Homo-oligomer: A and B are copies of this chain.
Amino acid sequence: MTMSKRDTYTPESLLAVAVQVFNERGYDGTSMEHLSRAAGISKSSIYHHVRGKEELLQRAVGRALEGLFGILDERGARDGRAVLRLEYVTRRTTEVLMDELPYVTLLLRVRGNTPTERRAMERRREFDQRVSELLKDAVAEGDLRADVEARLATRLLFGMINSLVEWYRPDGRGAEGADQVVDAVVRLAFDGLRA
């Protein structure tokens, strides 16, 4: 008989466990059995909280997307010249990625095998599209270079930002502080490596 701990999970704490397992094993490779073992409670206890693993995925990517789309409603993303709004969105996207690291990691790794995954990928593309529009506006206002196509520039910008999920660890000993990373992203994205 498996020893199970008493189920004292909240929706949030159960979600945190599930997201960790999804990121380690991949969403496709995770079974309810894996989730049950990682949480230390029975499968039926998990079903008391959620209908199944797809609901956990939905909540997890929902949290990441809410964080990202929330940025676009902030004053810094709405007021002023496009270049300043894009700089604000770049900074805040990097911050949200670090604050919600496991959730955004999962969002960036979903592969589209289920309706929830496909919907998440679609919403993520919408976000990229909104940022791409902002970049186009900043080019039109003469503040950003016009010799790199906007969609390509947006992809490379997100390539730089999203790479954080591969190497940034908030508790890293001797690692960069979050502020230093955010400043580096903004400096390199807008002004490049050159002195």
Contact = CB atoms under 8 A, between A and B. Distances in A.
B153 A184 contact: yes
A155 B167 contact: yes
A80 interface: no
B181 A152 contact: yes
A148 interface: yes
Main secondary structure of the interface of A (DSSP, over half): helix
Given A159-B162, A159-B164, A190 B194 contact: yes
Contact of A145 (B139, B144, B161, B193): B193
Contacts of A26: 26
Interface in A165-195: 166-167, 176, 180-181, 183-185, 187-195
A83 interface: yes
Nearest to A145: B195
Contacts of A192: 188-192
A29 B26 CA distance: 11
A104 interface: no
Contact of A184 (B135, B152, B158, B189): B152
